[in-house]
Amino acid sequence: MWQVLILISVILLVYIISRITKNSNKFISQTSNEIVKCLVCGLNTPVKESINQGKDWFCSKECISRNDI
């Protein structure tokens, strides 16, 4: 009987772990799909392609150097 209980708990554990990893993947994809506006040229770019400096977002290194001038 205890073997059945162990089997059930293992299945439950795998189910919980898969749910946790699915949720975290969803969270990562949501944040990486976010669109931010470049402070210098106003271009809308995805977060993963943008460069963050403090509160401001830039589409490229060129725009960061232009913002410093």
Q: Is the dihedral of CA 54, 56, 60, 62 positive or negative?
A: negative
Choice from 36, 40, 50, 57 touching Zn ion (CB under 5 A): 40
Check binding of 36 to Zn ion (CB under 5 A): no
Q: Pattern 5-34, binding to Zn ion, x per CB under 5 A?
A: ------------------------------
Q: Choose between 26 and 62: whose C-beta lies nearer to Zn ion.
A: 62
Amino acid at 45: T
Minimum gap (Å) between residue 39 Cβ and Zn ion: 7
Give the chain's radius of gyration (CA, Å): 22
Q: What is d(CA 53, CA 64) in angstroms, rounded to the nearest whole number?
A: 9
Nearest to 29 by CA among 48, 10, 6, 42: 48
Residues of the shown chain interacting with Zn ion in the complex, contacts defined by CB under 5 A: 38, 40-41, 43, 59, 63
